[in-house]
Amino acid sequence: MITVTMVMQFLGGMGLFLYGVNATSEGLQKIAANRLKKILESLTKKTLTAAFFGMVMTIALQSSAATTVMVVEFVNSGLMTLAQALGVALGSSVGTSIVILLISFPILNIALAMIFIGFILYLVIRTTQTKRIGQAMIGFGCIFVGMSYLSSAFAPFRNIPEVNAFLSGFGDNPVLGILVSTVFTALLQSSSAFMAILISLSTQGLLTVEAVVPLVMGAHIGGTVTTLVSALSAEKTDAKRVALANSIYRVAAALIVFPFFSQFSALLVWSSPYLPMQVANAHLFSAILMVVLFLPFNKLIANALIKIIPQPKGRDKELRNMFITKTALELPVVALSQVYQEIRWLSHQIMENMVDLLPRVMYRGEQRWADVVEQSERNVDWHYRQITDYITAIFRRNLIRQQIFDSQNYLLMAKEFEYIADNLVVMTRYIMRMHNEKIKLTERDSAMFDELYILNSNHYLAILSDLDNKTRSNSYEVINKRQEVIGIFHHMRENAISFQYGSAPSSGSEGGKSANSEFEPGRVQIDCISIMIDLINGMYNISEEIFNIARIIVGQETDGEGHNHELSRETKKGMK
């Protein structure tokens, strides 16, 4: 008979277990996620190495989902092929199995000691690194305390023959066992949680080794259901491919093992006389089997997935995020990497669809190019809002200091690029007004425009190069030339005004007209001066925003106080 005590022990035990898993994962991510990400970038070129590191990363982060999210981000950014990503995903299943193997050991007393030591590190010593280690130790200890309560909750069922018969029946009807396990794991949204229940049941002797095999195979499959559903409804094609591959691997492994369940059960009995250990070994052996069966064929599987789930066509004009995904928010180091890639992509869009088109608008005066610039600016605004909303969501996570700085700087960088787009569209409107009102610039004005455009374009390309290659040298050069650039703009403004009012030499002038016969006095001349000054100011604003971005890249803007904007206001004084 189910009592209130049993229910409370089960719920409390499951709560402690899930809290422990989350706290351990969060603590270890703060300690190692940045380092692991850098190592993963360099060690996944070979498929076997990718599988090994997928295992290590999952053990370190206590989350195969976190590993999968990181892998998909690498594929999207071109740092990893789909085949390599599948290798990491296979390795992550082995890593999950090793974590499950650890929790099958009866080490409650050691776990309680870990909670106490973790408490000392977290609340007494209180340095940043020790707090993270303490958090991980408290979480790891809570996992075993939760397992103990789960086991106690199932203890009364030992004396109920119907429960024993029901659970043992999964060994006689393995298909039912696989289905029940798959559904239950999918509802829990965690294969580790379901495996904890199986280990707790086996501790009380409520499972047979024959029933364990189908239940574990179902747990493998059910653990991928949530990821598959969320990936298929997302926009990222590679996320869909990796999620589908994960599910296919597990279903295929279950089908292959199915005719050999009795032999597999015998292998588990041989591996350990302790039933909870047999449960954990069942998960581990099946994960290793998947690696052995599918890793050699990863490239073929990747090619097949590309054909099954092709890259969508005809969506270039749709507004959608290129890199940032909601699933990555669970792992801030990956979410911030996606923000960086999104900003980098946006910076190239501004170059291709706005900066490069400005001379066409200037010298052809065609409305179609102006329309492209206008539409591009609206697209930039949309992406900027998406980026700011995403960074706001990242801020709600428990971040380490460097991640807070990165978030602030990415927010500032995105705003500067949005300012650049705003200035470009304003300049485009000035130019189109000039063409529509038949106002002609002098050759000298055109030469000044060209000089300033080339200056800004070169500096913009310099910071793009640093963003693409994650370097700083070009940005340092932009910063070092800042005062020289301010002097150029100051000189251009003075020249624009003095030349238009005739203070420049004008040999051969006649009838009060300048030798530059294309330029008539009166309203047209005033309008020409006004437009030229507006264009110079627009170019200056863009140069200032490029300078601010360069400062962020070289790391001079890491206090999150917006000091680069203060400096912008100071540098404006150099124009007055």
Phi, psi of 510 (to 5 degrees): -150, 135
Share of the chain above pLDDT 90, in %: 26
Contact (Cβ atoms closer than 8 angstroms) between residue 403 and residue 336: yes
- CA–CA separation, 198 and 135 (whole Å): 27
Note the pLDDT of residue 510: 41
Q: What is the mean pLDDT of residues 97-122?
A: 86
Note the pLDDT of residue 509: 38
Note the pLDDT of residue 42: 59
Note the pLDDT of residue 576: 37
Judge whether residue 575 has pLDDT over 50. no
List the chain domain ranges: 8-308, 328-503+516-575
Note the pLDDT of residue 518: 44
* Structure-block tokens of residue 54: 């997928």
Among 242-246, 517-521, 524-528, 555-559, name the one with the lowest average pLDDT.
517-521
Sign, CA torsion 47/48/53/55: positive
Beta bridge partners, 513, equal 510
Please state the pTM of the whole predicted model. Answer: 0.69
Burial readout 342-377 (b: 16 or more C-beta within 10 A, e: otherwise): bbbebbebbbebbbebbbebbeeeeeebbebbbebb
- CA–CA separation, 125 and 133 (whole Å): 11
Among 41-45, 399-403, 405-409, name the one with the lowest average pLDDT.
41-45
- CA–CA separation, 143 and 21 (whole Å): 6
Beta bridge partners, 510, equal 513
Q: Among the ranges 52-61, 302-311, 552-561, which has the highest mean pLDDT value?
A: 302-311
Tell me the CATH number for domain 328-503+516-575: 1.20.58.220
Note the pLDDT of residue 143: 87
Contact (Cβ atoms closer than 8 angstroms) between residue 276 and residue 204: no
Torsion angle, alpha carbons of 337, 340, 346, 348, to 10? -100
Q: Which residue has the tokens 């609340």?
A: 123
- CA–CA separation, 44 and 73 (whole Å): 14
Q: What is the mean pLDDT of residues 269-276?
A: 90
Q: What is the mean pLDDT of residues 119-143?
A: 84
Judge whether residue 231 has pLDDT over 80. no
- CA–CA separation, 548 and 545 (whole Å): 5
**Environment class of 548 (CB within 10 Å of its CB; exposed 0-12, middle 13-18, buried 19+):** buried
Note the pLDDT of residue 206: 86
Judge whether residue 419 has pLDDT over 90. yes
CB atoms within 10 A of CB 128: 9
Judge whether residue 523 has pLDDT over 70. no
- CA–CA separation, 197 and 185 (whole Å): 10
Q: Which tops the pLDDT comparison, 420 or 5?
A: 420
